[in-house]
A and B are shown apart, each in its own frame.
Chain A
Amino acid sequence: EVQLVESGGGLQQPGRSLRLSCAASGFILEDFAMHWVRQVPGQGLEWVSGISWNNDDLGYADSVKGRFTVSRDNAKNSLYLEMNSLRVVDTAIYYCVRGSGPHRPAHPDYWGQGTLVTVSS
């Protein structure tokens, strides 16, 4: 059974940093691209970042480019999102999402339950 479990969310002040982690199980992580998608409570889904199976292709939404960094450790079955210079507008539930293939355009299939990030002073 495919499982994606996010951790690392919480309350942080504007301008500070947070690191999200996603523990993957039930499949071979290195066979798939992975993504982060967020949702402001009560609003729609927004793609944040994606990474190909071998780290060669990284992508970011314009809203986080230069502030967020995605990475993965296939040996540890883990995906990460380093979030720097946090803003109030980054407040959202962050979902770890598996792509259906090794490259970034492969459509998403499995999602984690999400971790809430709250940015507030």
Chain B
Amino acid sequence: QSVLTQPPSVSGAPGQTVTISCTGTSSNIGAHFDVQWFQHLPGSAPKLIVSGDSDRPSGVPDRFSVSKSGTSVSLAIAGLQAEDEADYYCQSYDTTLSGFVFGAGTKVTVL
């Protein structure tokens, strides 16, 4: 069972906006550790798309953005495109476990 809670799947039509939530606890997100989001396509290496407060690595479009409220962080994907279809994982650091924690992953489907 994953420490961070994500919905198993979200879907949307091309051009729409989808949102993925990531809920943690007082020992990770609530302890002010940054949350990162990774895009993962089967057979490839996970790719960092957003870190902390909407820091995007070079090449990641600004269609990806984050918002935070308490112990929850949400990733929004605006202007959904076919290439966005993938698994998305949130990640943070946990002081109790003294290591990284991940969500179980959310499968984004473009209808």
A interface, CB within 8 angstroms of B: 35, 37, 43-47, 49-50, 59-62, 95, 100, 104-105, 107-114
CB of B33 within 8 A of CB of A105, answer yes
| Cβ-defined partner of A47 (8 Å) among B40, B51, B102, B104 | B102
Report which of A43, A49, A62, A108 forms a contact with B91, defined as CB distance below 8 A: A108
Q: Known interface pairs A95-B45, A113-B44. Does A107 touch B93 (Cβ–Cβ under 8 Å)?
A: yes
Asked if B98 is at the interface (CB within 8 A of a chain A CB), the reply is: yes
- Which secondary structure characterizes the binding site on chain A? strand
Docked Cα-Cα span, A46 to B46, in Å, equals: 13
The residue on B at minimum CB distance from A58 is B98
Within 8 Å CB of A111, what residues of B?
Answer: 38, 45-47
Cβ of B86 under 8 Å from chain A: no
Could you jot down 5 A-B contacts, CB within 8 Å? A45-B102, A50-B100, A62-B97, A111-B46, A113-B44
Whole-angstrom distance between the Cβ of A41 and the nearest chain B Cβ: 9
**Residues of chain A within 8 A of B101, CB atoms compared:** 47
Q: Which A-chain residue is minimally distant from B57 (CB atoms)?
A: A109
Asked whether A108 lies within 8 Å of B48 as measured between CB atoms, the reply is yes
Q: Known: A107-B51, A111-B45, A114-B45. Contact between A44 and B104, CB under 8 A?
A: yes
Q: Are A44 and B105 in contact (CB under 8 A)?
A: yes
User: For residue A114, which residues in chain B have a CB less than 8 angstroms away from its CB?
Assistant: 45
How does the 8 Å CB contact mask read for B33-73 relative to A, with 1 for contact and 0 for none? 11010101000111110011000010000000000000000
Q: CB within 8 Å of A: which residues of B?
A: 2, 33-34, 36, 38, 40, 44-48, 51-52, 57, 89, 91, 93, 97-105
Residues of A within 8 A of B100 (CB): 35, 37, 47, 50, 107-108
Cα A35 to Cα B36 with chains together (Å) = 16
B46 and A44: CB pair below 8 A? no
B93 touches A105 (CB 8 A): yes
Decide: A44 near B45, CB < 8 A? Known: A108-B36, A108-B91.
Answer: no
Interface centre among B48, B93, B100, B104 (most CB of A within 10 A): B100
